[in-house]
Amino acid sequence: MRKMDKRKTDKILRLLEAEYPDAGCELEHLNVYELLVCVTLSAQTTDASVNRVSPALFAAYPDAHAMAQADPEDVAEIIKRIGMYKTKSKRIIDQAKMLVEKYDGNVPEDDEMLVQLPGVGRKTANVVMAEGFGHQRIAVDTHVFRVSNRIGLAEADNVEKTEEDLKKNIPGDMWSRAHHLLIFHGRYCCHARKPECERCPVADLCAYNKQ
């Protein structure tokens, strides 16, 4: 795609910032390991649902060493209120085993190492690098994919190309912040089926609204 005019991009981000000043990670966690697990559990499940089960999960298995020794049925029982809980219970245990075997139970601060972990794709790795380690990243979930392509910040048919487009259009020191702003806009205004264009703060700048 051709690069969006910088002034237009800046204005979109300023308007979204004004609309969602509290935008941020809504997964409750105390450390990078808990963040990794919570992001893994959040696939096709709301953050609120994960937050309801994670306190009991981490009380029982506070770190990768404990999780690596867990019985999948016991973990599944704790997280059974979220979608795909049986698959996810096995996934986070396998994830913990690899962390223990390769990294002494620590979460690696490296994109390529992260995506080798069970249950970790590019989106999860980006979230961990941004939220857990403070690096500038744009994690493209369903909200970011939908909103950025509707607005015109991206023009892509998959998440990888969407991430590339966003990196071209958004200043590098704003990547992590933009990620949260786009997520909040997708959750609370630019819905998948019925976007609320009449109250959208960036409607006048949006490619979708001009169709």
Q: Is the dihedral of CA 85, 86, 91, 96 positive or negative?
A: positive
Q: One of 88, 97, 123, 165 is an active-site residue; which one?
A: 123
**157 is known as an active-site residue:** no
Q: One of 47, 88, 97, 141 is an active-site residue; which one?
A: 141
Q: Is the dihedral of CA 205, 155, 176, 143 positive or negative?
A: positive
**141 is known as an active-site residue:** yes
Q: Give the catalytic positions in this structure.
A: 123, 141
